[in-house]
Amino acid sequence: MYRSLAVACLTIVLGCQRPVGEAISKDKVEPSTSVASTWSSPPSAAAPPPPSAASVVEVAASPTPTATPTSLVSIANIDPLDVPGSAKSPIVWKPSPLAKWIQAVDGYVPAVKPGKLTALNGSAIAWATYLSDVHRRLHPLFADQFIESLSAYPPSYPMNQPTLKTVIEVVLRPDGAIHHLGIVRSSGLTAFDLGALDAFDRAAPFGPAPAAIISPDGLAYFHWELHRDDIRCSTINARPYLLK
């Protein structure tokens, strides 16, 4: 009995053996990864796509939208790309240092004052023509560059308040070069006032001033109101003066 059982087991074992290299089934079985190779190094993740230009810019904190900024530098010298929610603008406006305009914004005393003026009379036409020429040089800088550069900032940015407006006193020499500029009425945001001053400064000189618009002291005077809204630097807000 035991001998018969042993013979049967031996027969089964020999029947299970196959020659080396013989396929087990019609479908070839691919070699499996060993456990050692699987755990020796974790599966590598897919490589991330290359970062975009905007993603490598370090984002800085933006001024509080509802608060009036107290630091000029935090508004005037900040890069539009550093403001969360801003879009890249093709126009870059670089403000001048505050030191350049400190006398124009800090306690400026206007030269045009009541009691010191005389009627324009025959100079009105000369003024209209000259101010149109000034506008042709001013508009590309104030409206097309400074104001358009602000579109890179989100709507809540302080300098995007549509109610902003500032009044500048412009004093020219007879050759059209700037004698001096000053803020007569501030917008309430110094950075916006500086942008308006820079626009006038960069637009000059404006060409020789007609003799009819020159005051007795040898200078030409006018005020210009500049807006953040669609009015911008329209000549409707230019006011010429003749001093006594």
User: Does residue 182 carry a pLDDT above 60?
Assistant: yes
User: Does residue 204 carry a pLDDT above 80?
Assistant: yes
Range 46-53 average pLDDT: 41
Global confidence as pTM: 0.66
Range 18-31 average pLDDT: 40
Greater pLDDT, 240 or 56: 240
Residue % of the chain over a pLDDT of 70: 64
User: Does residue 194 carry a pLDDT above 60?
Assistant: yes
> Average pLDDT over the chain, rounded to whole?
76
User: Does residue 223 contact residue 238 with C-beta atoms inside 8 Å?
Assistant: yes
**DSSP string computed for 87-125:** ---S----PPPHHHHHHHHSS---S--TTSEE--GGGHH
Per residue in 62-87, pLDDT (tens digit) is: 332 333 333 343 344 444 444 444 45
Where in the chain are the domains? 58-243
User: Does residue 102 carry a pLDDT above 50?
Assistant: yes
Range 189-202 average pLDDT: 98
pLDDT, residue 87, reads 52
Structure tokens at 165: 């407006």
With cut-offs at 50, 70 and 90, classify the pLDDT of residue 193. Answer: very high
Query: Of 41-45, 120-124, 167-171, 240-244, where does mean pLDDT reach its minimum?
Result: 41-45
Distance from C-alpha of 172 to C-alpha of 209, rounded to nearest angstrom: 8
User: Does residue 195 contact residue 112 with C-beta atoms inside 8 Å?
Assistant: no
Residue % of the chain over a pLDDT of 90: 62
User: Does residue 123 contact residue 213 with C-beta atoms inside 8 Å?
Assistant: yes
With cut-offs at 50, 70 and 90, classify the pLDDT of residue 207. Answer: very high
Query: Of 9-18, 125-134, 138-147, 211-220, where does mean pLDDT reach its minimum?
Result: 9-18
Burial annotation 19-30 (CB, 10 A radius, 16+ → b, else e): eeeeeeeeeeee
